[in-house]
């Protein structure tokens, strides 16, 4: 390492993968864009050479032609200037929501895919696109610990979550129907609860019985509507109101309620899992709930855990949930992990030192889950919109299908019949492929960048604790999201919210934003135990009213350059300095 270098070669190499806050790598990007566009143009010229050209040099010289191009250029300049007022998420000063700088390999892959414009619904419309998707899915599955290539890209995490709900709903009815047929034919003691635990091995063993197989196929025809499903199981199992349930934690993303509504679940079918004092799924209460559902013979359609909550970046104890399910003979239950934000932290799953023991165990237990949502447009620094639904078992992935008579699907390669979305762009697919090939999804590639963000967060927490006692850090946050409120000793929640709100306004009102934050509110009815733990920092334990919310400053430390040594500004120190200044103004305003 040269004594004049400020970074190790491994860090320098990562810098080459981003445009940079001041567009430092623009010359290289332009070179690649020109090269890529030229290569694409040559391909078009060489294809079907005897066809001739549709646009002549004479056409291009005419006034009507050049005038229209001038209009396009004018419109492009206009909209370019408008976009200069857009949120500058590429800057280290933007530490608000879950997006940041995008990586250059992804940008180039995205652009290339735009030029080719494949529709990865089938091999008919995307011969190469579906191959790239398959390869990208395999790389993501390897990072998580899944085997095989089950999964596909979506327009975002919301749709990926829906994919799990549709499949888990279909599966629970298949399994329940199988038990119902067996019960009817052979007078077994089966009940609806056992539909949660049947498993594909037993399912296929039962399907070998010709009588069962015949009646099962007939039953599938009967179960086309929700009402038919209810009446069918009520007759067979002698129950009145035992619809399958979905268990979702209180810190869920709002898309889960959307998804449950879309697949026709009623309120009684959605059970919210309570959180413990660390803000994660309360495992003891989870276990008690399982026992209650078993006693009521209420089957479980799906259980949801979160790896990186939207508000505070919590990681649910996935490993503990798996252990509990195994204890209750529920290892076949559908356990989905919403890892839209936290999934790429699995690139560091071998690094024990950077995570808490619980987070480390959770990351290393992902391979034992049923399915998973992961968003490349978050911690993989890929352009919007790019989500992914991954599945650990082909029986669960290929369960639900939708065919169009005008599309010739290849059963071996096409994911089209098994995706909720019809037409799907290959932009996210190609961007993720380029990302994974350029910086591998492990501790030496993408994980190196993510590790920097984790260290940055820890450094800022240490500085805030040391310098600003009024800053009350949200405890037990597992990833690179930092939250805090501003509280003096024995403050009421309303007083704390006012102080925190004034700090936020200080940063919002500056003409040249010092830093751009986001905010969130914790509801006592969802985060009661956690809020009590946080309130103990200022003597507020037991003083929070059930209808009160707590306002938090929310900082997402995703930017890969936030702690870069080359800047003229030390952003970590500057951030703490500005927070200190905002608090002093809040105190002075109160004293006046």
Measuring CA to CA, which residue among 557, 457, 504, 519 is closest to residue 94? Answer: 557
Three-state SS for 456? helix
Count of structural domains, the chain: 2
CA atoms within 13 A on the CB side of 47: 6
Q: Tell me the two tokens of residue 123.
A: 């091999």
The pTM score is 0.94
The answer as to whether 135 is a domain residue is no
Residue 328 in any domain: the answer is: yes
Q: Which domain holds residue 475?
A: 449-591
Strands of the sheet with 387-391, listed across from one edge: 151-154, 387-391, 371-374, 335-338, 300-306, 245-249, 270-273
Pairing state between β 471-473 and 481-486:
antiparallel
Q: Are strands 387-391 and 151-154 parallel, antiparallel or unpaired?
A: antiparallel
Of 122, 118, 119, 120, nearest to 409 (Cα)?
A: 122
Domain boundary among the residues 374, 404, 419 is at 374
Q: Are 346 and 465 members of one domain?
A: no
8 A C-beta contact, residue 199 and residue 333:
no
Please report where in the chains the tokens 């919590």 appear, as a residue: 314
Asked if 367 and 231 sit in the same domain, the reply is yes
Does residue 324 share a domain with residue 176?
Answer: yes
Residues 486 and 370 in one domain: no
Rounded CA Rg of the chain? 27
Tell me, yes or no, whether 369 and 454 share the same domain: no
Looking at the domain assignment, is residue 10 inside a domain? no
Question: Does residue 172 form part of some domain?
Answer: yes
Q: CA angle at residue 322 from 318 to 327, to 5 degrees?
A: 145
The DSSP bridge pattern shows strands 481-486 and 549-556 to be: antiparallel
Q: What is the pLDDT of residues 245-264, one digit of tens each?
A: 999 999 999 999 999 999 99
Per-residue pLDDT tens, the chain, 592 aa: give them: 444 445 667 778 899 999 999 999 999 999 999 999 999 999 999 999 999 999 999 999 999 999 999 999 999 999 999 999 999 999 999 999 999 999 999 999 999 999 999 999 888 888 999 999 999 999 999 999 999 899 999 999 999 999 999 999 999 989 999 999 999 899 999 889 999 999 999 999 999 999 999 999 888 887 776 566 666 666 667 666 678 999 999 999 999 999 999 999 989 999 999 999 999 999 999 999 999 999 999 999 999 999 999 999 999 999 999 999 999 999 999 999 999 999 999 999 999 999 999 999 999 999 999 999 999 999 999 999 999 999 999 999 988 755 443 334 455 556 778 899 999 999 999 999 999 999 999 999 999 999 999 999 999 999 999 999 999 999 999 999 999 999 999 999 999 999 999 999 999 987 677 999 999 999 999 999 999 999 999 998 888 888 999 999 999 999 999 999 899 999 999 999 999 999 998 877 765 5
Q: What is the pLDDT of residue 586?
A: 81
Last residue of a domain, one of 319, 342, 374: 374
Residue 75 lies in a domain: no
Distance CA 391, CA 411 (A): 18
Residue 572 lies in a domain: yes
260 membership: H or E segment, kind and range? helix 255-262
**Interval 519-571: pLDDT, tens:** 999 999 999 999 999 999 999 888 888 899 999 999 999 999 999 989 999 99
Rounded CA-CA distance 582/463 in Å is 16
Contact present, 459 and 570 (Cβ < 8 Å)? no
CATH code of the domain in which 353 resides: 3.40.640
Same domain as 358, residue 472: no
Residue that is last in its domain, among 356, 374, 392: 374
Confirm whether 300 is domain-assigned: yes
């Amino acid at each position: 390492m040269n004594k004049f270098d400020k970074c190790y070669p491994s860090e320098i190499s990562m810098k080459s993968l981003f445009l940079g806050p001041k567009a430092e790598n623009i010359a290289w990007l332009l070179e690649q864009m020109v090269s890529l566009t030229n290569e694409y143009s040559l391909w078009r010229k060489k294809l079907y050479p005897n066809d001739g050209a549709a646009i002549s040099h004479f056409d291009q010289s005419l006034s009507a032609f050049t005038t229209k191009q001038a209009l396009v250029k004018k419109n492009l300049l206009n909209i370019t200037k408008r976009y200069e007022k857009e949120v500058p998420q590429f800057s280290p000063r933007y530490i608000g929501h879950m997006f940041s700088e995008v990586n250059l390999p992804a940008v180039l892959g995205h652009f290339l895919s735009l030029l080719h414009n494949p529709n990865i619904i089938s091999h008919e419309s995307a011969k190469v696109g579906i191959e790239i998707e398959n390869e990208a899915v395999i790389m993501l599955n390897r990072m998580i610990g899944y085997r095989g290539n089950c999964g596909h890209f979506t327009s975002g995490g919301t749709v990926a979550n829906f994919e799990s709900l549709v499949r888990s709903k279909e599966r629970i009815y298949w399994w329940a129907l199988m038990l119902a047929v067996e019960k009817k034919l052979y007078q077994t003691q089966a009940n609806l609860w056992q539909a949660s635990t049947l498993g594909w091995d037993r399912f296929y063993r039962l399907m070998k019985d010709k009588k069962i197989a015949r009646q099962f196929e007939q039953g599938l025809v009967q179960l086309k509507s929700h009402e038919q499903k209810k009446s069918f199981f009520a007759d067979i199992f002698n129950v009145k109101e035992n619809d399958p349930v979905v268990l979702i934690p209180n810190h869920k993303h709002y898309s889960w309620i959307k998804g449950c509504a879309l697949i026709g679940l009623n309120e009684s079918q959605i059970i919210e899992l309570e959180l413990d004092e660390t803000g994660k799924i309360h495992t003891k209460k989870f276990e008690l709930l399982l026992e209650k559902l078993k006693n009521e013979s209420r089957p479980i359609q799906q259980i949801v855990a979160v790896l990186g909550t939207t508000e505070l970046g919590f990681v649910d104890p996935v490993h503990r949930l798996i252990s509990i399910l195994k204890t209750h003979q529920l290892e076949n239950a559908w356990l989905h992990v919403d890892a839209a934000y936290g999934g790429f932290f699995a690139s560091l799953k071998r690094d024990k030192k950077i995570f808490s023991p619980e987070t480390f165990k959770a990351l290393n237990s992902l391979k034992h889950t049923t399915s998973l949502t992961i968003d490349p447009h978050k911690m993989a620094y890929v352009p919007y919109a790019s989500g992914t639904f991954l599945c650990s078992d082909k029986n669960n992935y290929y369960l639900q299908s939708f065919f169009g008579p005008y599309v010739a699907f290849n059963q071996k390669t096409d994911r089209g019949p098994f995706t909720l979305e019809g037409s799907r762009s290959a932009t996210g697919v190609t961007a993720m492929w380029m990302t994974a090939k350029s910086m591998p999804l492990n501790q030496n590639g993408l994980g190196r960048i993510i590790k920097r963000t984790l260290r940055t967060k820890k450094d800022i927490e240490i500085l805030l604790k040391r310098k600003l006692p009024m800053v009350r850090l949200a405890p037990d946050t597992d990833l690179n999201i930092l939250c805090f409120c501003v509280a003096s000793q024995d403050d009421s929640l309303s007083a704390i919210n006012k102080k925190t709100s004034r700090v936020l306004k200080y940063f919002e009102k500056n003409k040249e934003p010092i830093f751009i934050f986001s905010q969130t509110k914790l509801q006592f009815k969802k985060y009661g135990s956690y809020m009590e733990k946080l309130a103990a920092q200022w003597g507020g334990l037991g003083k929070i009213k059930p209808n009160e919310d707590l306002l938090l400053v929310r900082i997402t430390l995703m930017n890969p350059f936030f702690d870069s040594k080359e800047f003229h500004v030390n952003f970590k120190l500057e951030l703490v300095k500005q927070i200190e200044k905002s608090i002093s103004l809040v105190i002075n305003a109160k004293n006046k």
